[in-house]
Structure formats: structure tokens, C-alpha cells
Structure 1
């Protein structure tokens, strides 16, 4: 099993496997609208993190699914990362997870049984950490290894945190540092050292549990998690949902320490280029923003941090909540602004 490199069995890894935002929008535009279902509080309209369905006056059900191919070679770590990433969507809606089901696709003729078991054990360990059962799932024989979860959660209908309710003047706070896709690519190339790998695993297996606490704050207006479309792609979803612009400062972005050097060398997943091409004129870079900074803002994050749009008066309380739960890198990175849904990136 130790001779098997999971990342060599797939053409992509982690949330870098996601279809580019512009192509995904084209794929979805012919689907029927969901307005006929009055209890569906969140559907597909604003590309939010999960669906939310009102059960009664006190409870709404959050439902999401997320799966991908390996971003690391260690089977147990791959399972942990995939499960953490899937459960994050529940926290991004302001809810608490209650149940998960496994999605398993494995090349059973290529990958040893022991490796498949370790992947599933890794996912189960994260579910246990989140306090929920891994209650079943579905498996297929697939040409590339795929693992993820269907995750279900609960939230009070009045505390749902959408990605479309940001307000003019809101402060933008990012909970985790950027650079996951870049470190994953460096690992695949064999140039990531043990410390860089530790940083990669630590951030991608950290559950975004703070989302449930943020839901209780009236000053938290919008919430999402940063994954395959990169920081800029998911911030654009906030902008378009609220019909507002945003300004961020590249110099204030929290970064994984090992990622900057690789970013300067141009190392990173192919998703970076796809994401940048999808943004078009919706992202305006100041001339002082360096090329490596532009790339790291479009880097596909796997199990990335929460991005919160909060009132300025609430910003310190939100930062304190993040840091109390172990998100030491949480930082104010910019502000929502009146105007067209365009992001201005300053040095």
C-alpha cells in the first residue's frame, strides 16, 4: 500500500477537479427554477453552498454533497480532507451537521483493499470528530479514486446564512489561509517538504465549526466557504448575489507560509488558469498586484476557510470567535461596496 500514490491515479485532485465557474453556469442555465417550492429557502439561484428546506418554524434541513479525487497520496489523509470539505458546506449555511453518507468510487483492480479501507476510515474519523454518524452511502468501481460525503444538517430558518445577503459597507473576513491547491501541486511534483505537508493537512482537516456560532450573530450578513473557484470566484458569488461590488487588499490575505514560494515559481493546479479566465472583467487588478498574488487568489482551495460579510461593528467579535476556535490566521481582507458586482484588487 505504501507504494501506491493516489495522486498518480487521477487527472486532478481535490476541489481543483471542479468544473470552471463560467462553464458550470452554462451547464445549469437550462434547469427549471425552484420558485414553486415555497419551503425551499435556498436552491440553485445564487450558487450557494447547500440547499436549505424549511421543515417547520424552528428547523430547516441543510443538504449538500461534495466529492473529489485525491489531493494527497496518503489514503487516510485523503479521506479526512474529503470529509472535512463536504461537512464545511453545512457550517457555511450557519448550521450544525447531523448525518453523513459516503460517496465511494474506487479502481478496485488497481488500488489495494487496505488503501480503500484507510480512505473510508479517514472519512469516518472526521464524522466522529464532528459528532455525527456516517450512516451508509453508495460505492461503484471507477477508473479513478473518488471519495466524499452527502452531508445533512439543521439550522433555525431565521439563522440561515446565505451567500447573497451581504450589505454595502460590510467588512470581509477570511477564516483560513490560502494556498492549498498550490501546496497540493507541489506535493504531486515531489517538491513539498514535511513542514509544507503538515501545513496542508492541518488546514484541510480543520472543521469550520465556527459557522454555527456565526449564525447567531445578526451582524453576520452573508457566509460562504472558499473552495474550488478560489477566493475571487466565491467572493464574486457574494457580489452577484447581493448586487454589490467588493474591494480587497492582496497584502492582507492570510497565506499558508509554504505556499508563497511555490506561487512565485508558478507552481499550482490547472484550476488557477481556468478560474482566472472565467472571471473576465468582473475582477480588476491594480497594476501593483503581482502575478503570483493574482494566482493565489484564484487557487482552488480544498476544504478552505469561511468567508464572512459582516457589519463593521461586528468585525472584532467575529474575529474573536474565529480565533477562539483555533483559526489563528483569520483576517479582515476587504469590504463590500455599492456598485456593479465587480471585485477590485489592490496591493
Structure 2
């Protein structure tokens, strides 16, 4: 039984669209626990629960079906993606629990390899594997429930940028389109290898560097694509100006965008944006890149302008593709994002 062909969709491209998700969540009761500092109602990257004046726990969960054929590679990507939310909020990963769905008739050696891949990334993160839960399913799925820690005074939210900040992204874009090209047998080996290396890479290193700088907001760019995550960051208070010419791209990503190798998730992201952002200022290919779902994508960081270059250089020591892609301005009318 083939590992990848069993799956109808994979990676963060399998996420429920932001429009649908918002509709489901609005009817859920909100917590009245004052120690729950961050919950689902803020659309932040993870939940945070305060334990003491100096300590808060970060809790997040992420899992999906494969987007690559090799089970061990898939395990590494899924684990890196699941831990990313903790890094985005300025935290440190402590431990994680495996979440496993696996076909009963599939070769169990593939299950073993998948779990080994995840364990390798936890070891790289200096975190512990503490257990998990598994069930049989018609297709493989894997991820982690992750617990981290952070100083309650140093939590980094996804929607608190300050006017004058500079925007940095730490990974190149185009993962979704490259994986679409792979599924269609159209991707070159260079672009496929670059996408896998990017997805496997922990955001741990960029997160460690950003702690030394006045970072006012951060989020990881995943299934909702850069534009929807940027829209969440802008909120109701500021306007983000994004220079599409400065976006770091994976090899051949722009070519695949020109060839309309878009994903269903990318189209859901486009529908969610609707008329909130004027897309006519950029090419159709760049539009697809902005909507492209990123599995285990990079961090989008809003940092004080006077320290932005220094912060970028520090991040580039480990993540050389990191780039400055825009700025934070005073709210301009009803335009949360301006694309140039």
C-alpha cells in the first residue's frame, strides 16, 4: 500500500478554510478562567495558561496527512510544524505527545519510520516525547500535542505589531505549489528537495535569535498562507505594507505559480480575503504565492525598525533566506494590507 497515494490531501493544505473555521468557533463558549491568558477566541497560535508570576504553559496541537512519500521525512515535517506555534509565541518546547492515525493494512515499518522522524525533531528541539495516542484510520495522519513554557511577561502575540515596525519572514514561500507540482509529476528535483528541507527545518533557531530584539508580534505562516496570517497580524489597528518583490521564494515556485499549480487550500484562502485586500497591484502569480498554504512555514516577525537589520542578520546566521518584506503603518482607511 503506497504511503502518499492513500491521502486525498496533505500537510497544512488539508486545513479547514478560515471562513468555515471562524463560523464554527463563534458558537463555542469562552472560558472565564483568568489564568487562561490566550484562548481560541483571539486566533493566536497557541493557548497559554499562567501557572505563576514567572511561568506560563503553552499548549498547541497540530497533525495532518502526508505530503511526501517517505514516512520518516513526513514524521520530521509534521513534528517541526507542530512545535512551530510554541516558537512563534516566544516559548520553549518542553515535551510532546504523538497523535497517530494509520491504516490497519499498511506496512507497519512505515509507521515506525514516521514516528522515528518525529522523535528526531523532538530531540533536535531538546524536548521529550512523553507518550501519545493512536488509532486505525483509512489514511495515515501524524502530528503532536506540544507543551511549552514562556515567561508571562514575554509572550509574543500574533496581532500586536507597532506602527513603524519592520516585517521579517524567516523561510521561503511556495511549499504548497511545489507539492502540487510533485503530485502531478511536474516538479524538478531541486525544488522538491528545497521544499522538503524548508519544511523539516525547526523555527527554533529564528525564535532564539528574535528573543534578543524588540519583537512586538510574531506568527508562523502555515495553512492560511502569508496573506491571511498577515491579515490576522494587522488586526483592526494598523496597516501592513508588503513588498512582494522582496518575498523569498523556493526554487521554481514563481514558475509553478505562473502555471496555475494552485491548491484547493489556496483558493479557500483567496475566498476568505475577498475584497479585504486589493490584489490588483500584484501579478496573478504573486497572488497565488501569497495565498499558498505553507506546511511548516517560517515565522512572520514584526520588530522595531531601529533593530530590524540587526535582528535580520542574527536570524540569517541560521536561516539565510530570511528577508525584510514590509513595514507596519498607521491604519489607512479600511485597508489592513497594502501590496506593492
Instruction: Tell me the TM-score normalised to structure 1 length.
Output: 0.94
User: Who is 1:120 aligned against?
Assistant: 115
Q: Does 1:315 align with 2:279?
A: no
2:278 corresponds, among 269, 277, 284, to 284
User: Who is 2:263 aligned against?
Assistant: 269
Partners of 1:52 and 1:214 lie apart in 2 by 20
* Runs of 5+ unmatched residues, structure 2: none
User: Who is 2:63 aligned against?
Assistant: 67
1:142 corresponds, among 137, 143, 159, to 137
Give 1:37 shift.
1.4
User: Who is 1:303 aligned against?
Assistant: 296
User: Who is 1:6 aligned against?
Assistant: 3
Give 1:248 shift.
0.6
1:7-26 CA distance string (max 9 Å, x none): 31111110000111111100
User: Who is 1:38 aligned against?
Assistant: 34
Give 1:341 shift.
5.5
* Local SS of the residue matching 1:56: coil
Q: Does the Cα contact within 8 Å between 1:97 and 1:153 map onto a contact in 2?
A: yes
Q: Does the Cα contact within 8 Å between 1:95 and 1:212 map onto a contact in 2?
A: no
Give 1:216 shift.
4.2
1:24 corresponds, among 7, 21, 28, to 21
Aligned positions of 1:130-209 closer than 5 A: 130-209=125-204
Q: Does the Cα contact within 8 Å between 2:63 and 2:144 map onto a contact in 1?
A: yes
User: Who is 2:12 aligned against?
Assistant: 15
1:199-254 CA distance string (max 9 Å, x none): 0111001100121442343x2000100000000010011111x5222111111111
Q: Does the Cα contact within 8 Å between 2:96 and 2:131 map onto a contact in 1?
A: yes
Q: Does the Cα contact within 8 Å between 1:61 and 1:154 map onto a contact in 2?
A: yes
Partners of 2:270 and 2:81 lie apart in 1 by 22
| Farther off after superposition, 266-275 or 303-312 | 266-275
Q: Does the Cα contact within 8 Å between 1:220 and 1:314 map onto a contact in 2?
A: no
Q: Does the Cα contact within 8 Å between 1:221 and 1:311 map onto a contact in 2?
A: yes
Give 1:44 shift.
1.5
Q: Does the Cα contact within 8 Å between 1:84 and 1:207 map onto a contact in 2?
A: yes
* Runs of 5+ unmatched residues, structure 1: none
Q: Does the Cα contact within 8 Å between 2:60 and 2:85 map onto a contact in 1?
A: yes
